[in-house]
Chain A
Amino acid sequence: MSADTGRPVDRNFPTEDEYQVLLGKRTRRGTTAKFGFLFLLSLAVLGLAVLLMTIINDSFGLVAVVNQQEPEEIVASLGYDPGEVTLESLSKEDLVTVLAGGISNGVGRRLEREQRFFEDRLAFETQDKWDEVCASDEPPAGCSGGARSQGDVLLLVKERIVQPDIIASYGFFNSILGGNAFKDDIAGIFENTPERWPDYTFDEVRFQWRAWLNMTFVTTPSSSIPELAGIRTAILGSAWLVLFTVLFAVPVGVGAAIYLEEFAKKNRINDFIQTNINNLAGVPSIIYGMLGLAVFVRLLEPLTQGRTVISAGLTLGLLTLPVVIISSQEAIRAVPNSLRQGGMALGATKWQTVRSHVLPVAVPGILTGTILAVARAIGETAPLILVGAAGFITVDPTGPFSQFTALPIQIFQWASFPQKEWQNIAAAASLALLIMLLLLNAVAVILRNRYSRRMT
């Protein structure tokens, strides 16, 4: 590979043979490094895969259930053919009849006072008594609210009449690969805990495939029975929190970033502010929780009404603010200076230039940074515990001054219960949270591409 050039030989350079040896060594070192990094990447992928598999394993799988009353029997008792009609497809009238046949009149009246069954008539109360109750000083919620839907009544029938009792639940992989092990397992449970399962036989046990994350789970509020609990309240709570977080952090953060990047003079005060913003981005979230508790919940209670959506939203807004500022600053800084000069050279003011040329180019970057920051806020648990997210709540948040819970709080709550079914719904809620984050990231990508494509 070498040619005699006739130049004098410099002894400081390697000879041809030495060079070949060195070249081999360098190549091998490069290859080793490449495979080393590939191995590290595999480790990272493996970790993420295990995480996802654990969640999926708990979210889907077989459950062994015994029902107090089988749904088919209920359908048959109404005169329908169980082969054609399912419990879920029954009308609200039929379901109320079933309910009335299975619960005491007292319980029925109490349920009716919580929320009535029909708009036009009463199912359990007499009209005279109802009028009297509603005319009292503290009329129950049923007097003013609308009627229960078919789904609501169906839920009540399942909860009070069918009364499903889960003997055991199995993970996704166990369910697929388990074979006949379940039979022995159930027999063992019956044998070992006779006081819990006094007079059930194996024939009554139904094995059902259950996706713990399903539409019902997403659309029902929480409950004290894991099979019936859902995450609607938590999802709505998280959505409200995101709304207030964004409303606070984005205008304030982007505005501050514009000032710092485009207008601030380089002096001690601005350097000090910048350094502090950088440091705030690394402050643990629990400390923001302490701040939120002291300021928004206690000090500003007349304005925020204490432990409400707005207190928590503002706390999360403060938490994301430094990240929004820093990422917006980076996006603004990445806009080429030639654009600013071009604008200024035409006799534009600083603000005209920034508004028309710098910001449009910076928007994709600002959006990406902001959405990543908000995504972090959605997953935050610690500050919400401090500012008073409710662990158990079945009322949907309706505005800034509502009580609330959030998905991570709900997950934390459920995961801390010992029974297996709570673990299942905690996993399902985790999956829901992950899907929410993925959707949010997808929105970020779509917005970014739309802005980047506009003019390049």
Chain B
Amino acid sequence: MSDQPVTTGEDAAGAAGEIRPGMAFSGGFRGAGEGVPEELRPGVIETRGMNVYYGDFEAVSGIDLNFQYNEISALIGPSGCGKSTVLRSLNRMNDLIPSARTEGEVIYHGENIYAPGVDPVEIRRRLGMVFQKPNPFPKSIYDNIAWGVKINGFKGSRADMDDVVQRALEQAALWDEVKDKLKESGLSLSGGQQQRLCIARAVATQPDVVLMDEPCSALDPIATLRIEELMLELKKDYSIIIVTHNMQQAARVSDRTAFFNVELDNRGMRTGHLVEFSPTDLLFTNPKQTQTEDYITGRFG
């Protein structure tokens, strides 16, 4: 945390919650609250008593999480514990599922993103997402990246766009491999390259946060390693929240880990809830909850 940029007065004021109208989700908070005790420091995004339902079924219940700037936060837990659901609630991708409904608050830059009048399109532009299965558009590598930038109102010239594309591909450590074939289809790349293209696509629109939903589960170990190195590189500029099934991965890359578990309610429904959210080294070496300990030592799950 010591390498965080120096905070300006304006940023600190903003971080304290004095949001001016019309500036709701614009950036400029980074590194707020240096020296303030960790629990009181405002996070980049925070959930307060969040419940998510699919129809009548309560998928996750009572989630309180506070994700920090320029950190990698990992969400782990057994299958069906709702970690993907939590992740997708953070940028309102769950809205795309007709039966999904979210209760409670998700605070982003001091405002509840589920408040009436908030346009989910804006939320998704600030919180980019990378999916489990690489899903490049069936377009050229160049267009895969340029499209997201263009639709969000990029004003620059062609040359400016070329720079944006190059920078995004460099950030995703893909530039050297594709610089001679930018006009080729994104689908012509290997699985690991496709996933890095999706990461490049997500960071090209300059989001605050990159949400990753098991980004390595469809990749081989070498490609996985590359993505992990990339994440460590990206966290200088972005806050990253990653869902993973792989506890070693969480231990390797994340600064903070949230462990979720499922509970059977009295109707026999499986509802996910948050067990523990601690710095990763603490969670893996000295878990506070026995459930966590059982899980990380492989006693269940």
Contact = CB atoms under 8 A, between A and B. Distances in A.
Interface string A347-366: 11100100011001100000
A456 B124 contact: no
A361 B185 CA distance: 14
A339 to B, nearest CB: 6
Given A342-B131, A455-B185, A349 B121 contact: yes
B138 interface: yes
Contacts of B129: 341, 345
A340 B187 contact: no
Contact of B96 (A265, A344, A346): A344
Contacts of A338: 131, 133, 135
A347 B96 contact: no
Nearest to A454: B138
Nearest to B139: A455
B125 interface: yes
A210 B205 CA distance: 71
A341 B131 contact: yes
B159 interface: no
A64 to B, nearest CB: 63
A345 to B, nearest CB: 4
Contacts of B59: none
Given A340-B96, A341-B131, A356-B147, A348 B138 contact: no
Nearest to A360: B138
A343 interface: yes
A33 to B, nearest CB: 38
Nearest to A352: B151
Nearest to B138: A455
Contacts of A11: none
Contact of A361 (B138, B140, B201): B138
A336 B135 CA distance: 9
Contact of A346 (B122, B185, B187, B201): B201
B135 A341 contact: yes
A31 B292 CA distance: 58
A348 B151 contact: yes
Contacts of A266: 98
Contact of B124 (A339, A344, A360, A455): A344
A354 to B, nearest CB: 12
B57 to A, nearest CB: 17
B96 A357 contact: no
A355 B213 CA distance: 26
A361 B151 CA distance: 19
B118 to A, nearest CB: 13
Contact of A342 (B98, B126, B135): B135
Interface in B112-148: 121-122, 124-126, 128-129, 131, 133, 135-140, 147-148
A346 B135 contact: no
B274 interface: no
- Most B Cβ at <10 Å: residue of A266, A345, A356: A345
Given A341-B96, A342-B198, A347 B151 contact: yes
Given A265-B98, A338-B131, A340-B96, A347 B140 contact: no
B91 interface: yes
A339 B98 CA distance: 17
B125 to A, nearest CB: 3
B128 to A, nearest CB: 6
What is the interface residue range for chain B against chain A? 20 to 34
Contacts of B250: none
Nearest to A345: B129
A456 B202 contact: no
B151 A341 contact: no
A455 B125 contact: no
Interface string B200-213: 01100100000000
Given A341-B93, A356-B147, A347 B125 contact: yes
B245 to A, nearest CB: 19
Interface residues of A, number: 22
B152 interface: yes
- Most A Cβ at <10 Å: residue of B91, B137, B202: B137
B219 to A, nearest CB: 16
Interface in B179-210: 185, 187, 198, 201-202, 205
A336 B138 CA distance: 11
Contacts of B126: 347
A292 B103 CA distance: 53
Contact of B125 (A339, A346, A357, A456): A346
A344 B126 CA distance: 12
A341 B133 CA distance: 11
A342 B145 CA distance: 12
A456 B186 CA distance: 8
Interface in B142-173: 147-148, 151-152
Interface string B230-248: 0000000000000000000
- Most A Cβ at <10 Å: residue of B126, B135, B198: B135
B137 A348 contact: no
Interface in A300-355: 336, 338-349, 352
Given A347-B122, A347-B148, A456-B185, A339 B137 contact: yes
A339 B93 CA distance: 13
Interface in A378-409: none
B198 to A, nearest CB: 7
A382 B126 CA distance: 58
Contacts of B131: 338, 341-342, 345
A357 B137 contact: yes
Nearest to A452: B138
Contacts of B124: 344-347
A446 B133 CA distance: 32
Nearest to B122: A347
Contacts of B133: 338
Nearest to A349: B121
A241 B208 CA distance: 56
- Most A Cβ at <10 Å: residue of B125, B140, B147, B185: B147
A155 to B, nearest CB: 55
A315 B152 CA distance: 43
Given A340-B96, A346-B125, A456-B187, 15 more contacts: A265-B98, A338-B131, A342-B198, A345-B91, A345-B93, A345-B124, A345-B129, A346-B124, A347-B148, A348-B121, A356-B137, A356-B147, A357-B138, A360-B138, A455-B185
19 contacts: A266-B98, A339-B137, A340-B96, A341-B93, A341-B131, A342-B137, A342-B201, A346-B124, A346-B148, A346-B202, A347-B125, A347-B126, A347-B148, A357-B138, A361-B138, A455-B138, A455-B139, A456-B185, A456-B187
Q: Which 7 A-B pairs have the closest CB atoms?
A: A347-B125, A346-B148, A338-B135, A345-B129, A455-B138, A342-B135, A347-B124
